[in-house]
Structure 1
Amino acid sequence: MMSRTVVIAGASGFIGGYFKQRFIAEGWQVRTVGRDASADAQWHDDGAITKVLDGAELLVNLAGRSVNCRYDEKHRREILDSRVLTTRALGRAVAACAEPPRTWINSSTGTIYRHAEDHPQSEVSGELGSGFSVDVARAWEDELAAAVVPATRKVPLRIAIVLGAGGVMSPLRNLARLGLGGHMGPGTQKFSWIHVEDLFRAVVFIHADPGVTGPVNAASPYPVDNRELMALVRRSMGVPFGIPTPAWLLEAGAVLIRTQTELVLKSRWVEPRKLLGAGFTFVYPCLTGALNQIANPTRSLT
């Protein structure tokens, strides 16, 4: 039997690296599109991207510059272009395929919804927010919608903050280790998250079920607030206490470490209604289990 083929665009990051390893473990053939020389096709070469995609069953696009930076003009342009232009290039390549992928799952972000402390934001009733991050997310999804690929199901995946051995966990664990792992700002802002293993499983699940159409929220059904998040991070590391950080100090610190306070102060309350409605089950629905696995990575993922 021929092995199934998946193309991962943006495979060099934390999520992409994990996905590559997991797809290979599940018996898939993995091809990659990216900036680095090890990728099977580079972004500037439409012909090579088409060749890599032709005959593949699934396309997963994770490309996009990190948003963990100050939003100056240069970085804003890089953040936007790294999402929109890569999606546009994939659209051209899929359209040129003789045998295009059956499913194209394209990253989007749970940050597309407004700051919400009153009720969760589902794919059906969620209200989109405003500001730079939301504008980027809208442009990203609009670019996917604009791709004319009638034989391919396109699913924008609105991903919450992804937890695993890397990514956002490193700075949070470092803060806790330094005794600064208290709540940030008011501490009431919601933290929607998903374990990287559940994100991988959600992608495979969506591909297998043609009834699941986008946009789809990829988030655990049990978000926490920032106060509980930091308490659980401390507990998973055996750190007894943490000094809270008021919003004004976060603003000053964010300038020093060249990032944006939005990453910790915005209340993201993302509800995975479509996944749950389609029967998807989470291996890590609760943050305690997810953090324990990350703190003890030798523990089985299944």
Structure 2
Amino acid sequence: MTRTVVIAGATGFIGSHLQRRFPEKGWQVRTVGRDASADAHWNDDGAIAKALDGAELLVNLAGRSVNCRYNERHRREILDSRVVTTRALGRAMAVCAEPPRTWINSSTGTIYRHAEDRPQSESSGELGSGFSVDVARAWEDELAAAVVPETRKVPLRIAIVLGTGGGVMSPFRNLARLGLGGHMGPGTQKFSWIHVEDLYRTVSFVHERPELTGPVNAASPYPVDNRELMALVRRSLGVPFGIPTPSWLLEAGSVLIRTQTELVLKSRWVEPRKLLDAGFTFEYPSLAGALNDIAAGTR
């Protein structure tokens, strides 16, 4: 019997990777999104329910990029793209005769506070404050509100995802090539990350282990600080040095390139305690290995 996974928000970097990897393991993939090729679209609850009915796993990745200035319009788009889509999936799941037994819904490691003192696990982590945290809370609250008794719902608190073709590393790599690849701000802020292949493996692992409930952190067990991050980026590119960028200059530059300094200055120290305790092993535990893989794939 063919196993079916429904991927919502499947056209981005992560969704494209999952769409490729699941069929390699014998899965059938159905998609929900705005793209013309999607099996169901967000404005059609009936089509979403049809795509979900009889599927084994739902993975929701829908969400507008946060790489922008947080003006009023962008804040609303960022929130709605996460909460409204999760709500639509909940409505569709409620009318399925055979809903998926696992619903893995994206969340973010940014839900935790700025942490340079200790790692933030699922049980001991402290939630932060501010717009990004408010969005993450609303996202997880919407998942919790969905009434689907037969389905295990898991918010996956994902760290920054790295991989060939992913846009997250491009600004760091470009700065390094220009000789500006030194540390950013104080350089002590933690950088939690996960390779996109390990994220796919995490999704599969969580689905196959019904004992994993509640939020799950998806991050490498070996985060680095910003100084080490930029040193590794330079090394992967063969760039011998990089000029540091002070916080005030980052703030000025972020206005010009229409993004937020939070993306590089917030200290994200996300510990994947549930995964480690359940026996998950990372294919790319070290950032050096992940960056070498990415560099090899982009040459």
Q: TM-score range by the shorter chain?
A: over 0.9
Give how far 1:214 is off: 1.8
Q: Secondary structure at the match of 1:167?
A: coil
Q: In structure 2, list runs of 5 or more residues that go unmatched.
A: none
DSSP-derived class of the 1:104 partner: strand
**Secondary structure, in 3 states, of the residue corresponding to 1:71?**
coil
Q: Deviations over 1:143-202 (max 9, x none)?
A: 000000000000000000000111201111111111111100000000000000000000
Measured against aligned partners, the alpha-carbon deviations of 1:82-123 in whole angstroms (never above 9, x if no partner) come to 000000000001111001001000000000000000000000
Which residue in 2 is equivalent to 1:146?
145
| Structure 1 residues 78-157: aligned runs within 5 Å | 78-157=77-156
**What TM-score do the two structures reach when normalised by structure 2?**
0.98
Matched, 1:63 2:68: no
Q: CA–CA distance in 2 between the matches of 1:146 and 1:111?
A: 21
- In structure 1, give the amino acid aligned to 2:78: I
1:298 offset after TM fit, Å?
A: 8.5
Show CA shifts across 1:228-264 (max 9, x none).
0000011011111111100000000000000000000
Q: Distance in 1 between matches of 2:95 and 2:233?
A: 47
SS at match of 2:83: helix
Q: For the residues of structure 2 that align with 1:288 and 1:256, how far apart are their CA atoms?
A: 31
Deviation at 1:297, TM superposition (A): 2.1
CA distance in 2, matches of 1:159, 1:205: 15
In the alignment, which residue of structure 2 is the partner of 1:239? 239
Q: Tell me the amino acid that sits aligned with residue 204 of structure 1.
A: S
Q: C-alpha separation between the residues in 2 aligned to 1:56 and 1:175?
A: 44
Q: Displacement, 1:291?
A: 0.5
How far is the alpha carbon of 1:222 from its aligned partner? 0.3
Amino acid at match of 1:88: R
Partner in structure 1 of residue 294 of structure 2: 294
Moved runs in structure 1, 4+ residues, more than 6 A?
none
Aligned-partner Cα distance in 2 for 1:139–1:273: 23
1:186 maps to: 186
Secondary structure of the corresponding residue to residue 194 of structure 2:
strand
Aligned counterparts, 1:1-302, within 5 A: 2-165=1-164, 166-297=166-297
Q: Secondary structure at the match of 1:297?
A: helix
**What SS is found at the alignment partner of 2:297?**
coil
CA distance in 2 between counterparts of 1:111 and 1:27 reads 33
The percent identity for this pair of structures is: 86
1-structure distance, mates of 2:169, 2:4: 31
The whole-number CA distance in structure 2 between the counterparts of 1:203 and 1:69 is 27
Q: Which amino acid aligns with 1:63?
A: A
Letter in 1 for 2:241: F
Taking only aligned residues, the RMSD between alpha carbons, in angstroms, comes to 1.0
Task: Specify the SS of the correspondent of 1:296.
Answer: helix
Query: What TM-score, normalized by structure 1, do the two folds share?
Result: 0.98
Looking at structure 2, the residues matched to 7 and 167 of structure 1 have their Cα atoms a distance apart, in angstroms, of 24
Separation in 1, partners of 2:180, 2:14: 27
CA distance in 1 between partners of 2:241 and 2:14 (Å): 30
- Rounded to whole Å, the distance in 2 between the matches of 1:125 and 1:153 is 22
Structure 1: state its 5+ residue gaps: none
